[in-house]
Amino acid sequence: MSMNSVPSGERVHIGIYGKRNAGKSTVMNALTNQNIAIVSDIKGTTTDPVIKSMEMLPIGPVVIIDTPGIDDEGELGELRVKKVIRCLIRQILQ
Ligand SMILES: Nc1nc2c(ncn2[C@@H]2O[C@H](COP(=O)(O)OP(=O)(O)OP(=O)(O)O)[C@@H](O)[C@H]2O)c(=O)[nH]1
Ligand SMILES: [Mg+2]
């Protein structure tokens, strides 16, 4: 089986959680060595989870998930926070 066909459930999931502007997307880009998540100094830049499957030695196949800030606010912000919490619970239960 090639590395790309490893099912998500068999991969180690690495989630990046925290407040807005904490540097989560910067960590995502550093871990993947790619410019995959938008980084800016404006709070709330990441509005949806950014997911990347890859091989990370020595762990093996992983899924890395960058998430919106857990302190987002307003009508849309609260929807984002709910999404982050769902993502976190799914990861814990996995
Ligand atoms: N000084 C310093 N700045 C950093 C560091 N990591 C990230 N930054 C800066 O902090 C700002 C926010 O970085 P992001 O990676 O976009 O932060 P985020 O947590 O993804 O932000 P949201 O998407 O809004 O939740 C950017 O201007 C980054 O360049 C760090 O280690 N040191
Ligand atoms: Mg971000």
Angle at Cα 30 formed by Cα 2 and Cα 72, nearest 5°? Answer: 110
Q: Report which protein residue has its CA nearest ligand 1's atom 10.
A: 23
- Which residue is listed with tokens 């960590």? 27
Percentage of residues in the chain having pLDDT higher than 70: 97
Residue 33's pLDDT is what?
A: 96
Residue 1, pLDDT above cutoff 80: no
Instruction: Tell me how far the alpha carbon of residue 23 lies from the centroid of ligand 1, in angstroms.
Output: 3
Residue 93, pLDDT above cutoff 90: no
Ligand with smallest separation from the Cα of 43: 1
Q: Is 71 helix (H, G, I), strand (E, B) or coil?
A: coil
| Both structure tokens of 33 | 């060595």
Residue 8's pLDDT is what?
A: 86
Mean pLDDT of 46-54: 97
Residue 76's pLDDT is what?
A: 96
Mean pLDDT of 56-76: 96
Are 63 and 8 in contact by the 8 Å Cβ rule? The answer is yes
State whether the beta carbon of 22 lies less than 6 angstroms from ligand 1.
Answer: yes
